[in-house]
C-alpha cells in the first residue's frame, strides 16, 4: 500500500509540474498575425491562411518557403493574390 501511495504522489506531482508546459506548448502553435502593408490589414496565420498560401505557392510554381523569409516583392505578390481570392 505504501508503494502505491508513493507512486500516486509521484504521478500527481509530475502531472502538476508538466501541465503548464503542455498547455503553453499548445498556445505557441496558435497562428501569428501578419500585417499586410499594401492593403493596410492584418492576417492571422491559421489553417485557412496556410491553405491559401500553399495554393499560391502551387499556382505560381514556387518551392515551399516560410512567408517571413520571402522577399518583400514575393510577399507583395502573395498579398495581391490573397485579396483577389476573397
Task: Tell how many helices (H) and how many strands (E) occur in the chain.
Answer: 3, 2
Tens digits of pLDDT across the chain (86 residues): 677 677 667 766 566 666 565 555 444 445 788 888 888 988 888 988 999 999 999 999 999 999 989 999 999 999 999 988 86
Say how far apart CA 83 and CA 64 lie, in whole Å.
Answer: 20
Tell the burial category of 46 from Cβ atoms under 10 Å away from its Cβ (0-12, 13-18, 19+): exposed
Q: How many CB atoms lie within 10 A of CB 45?
A: 15
- Maximum Cα–Cα distance for the chain, whole Å? 68
Amino acid at each position: 500500500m505504501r508503494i502505491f501511495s508513493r507512486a500516486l504522489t509521484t504521478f500527481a506531482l509530475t502531472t502538476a509540474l508538466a501541465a503548464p508546459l503542455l498547455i503553453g506548448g499548445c498556445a505557441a502553435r496558435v497562428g501569428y498575425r501578419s500585417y499586410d502593408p499594401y492593403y493596410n490589414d492584418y492576417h492571422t496565420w491559421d489553417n485557412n491562411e496556410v491553405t491559401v498560401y500553399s495554393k499560391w505557392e502551387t499556382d505560381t510554381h514556387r518551392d515551399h518557403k516560410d512567408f517571413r523569409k520571402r522577399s518583400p516583392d514575393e510577399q507583395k505578390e502573395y498579398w495581391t493574390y490573397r485579396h483577389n481570392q476573397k
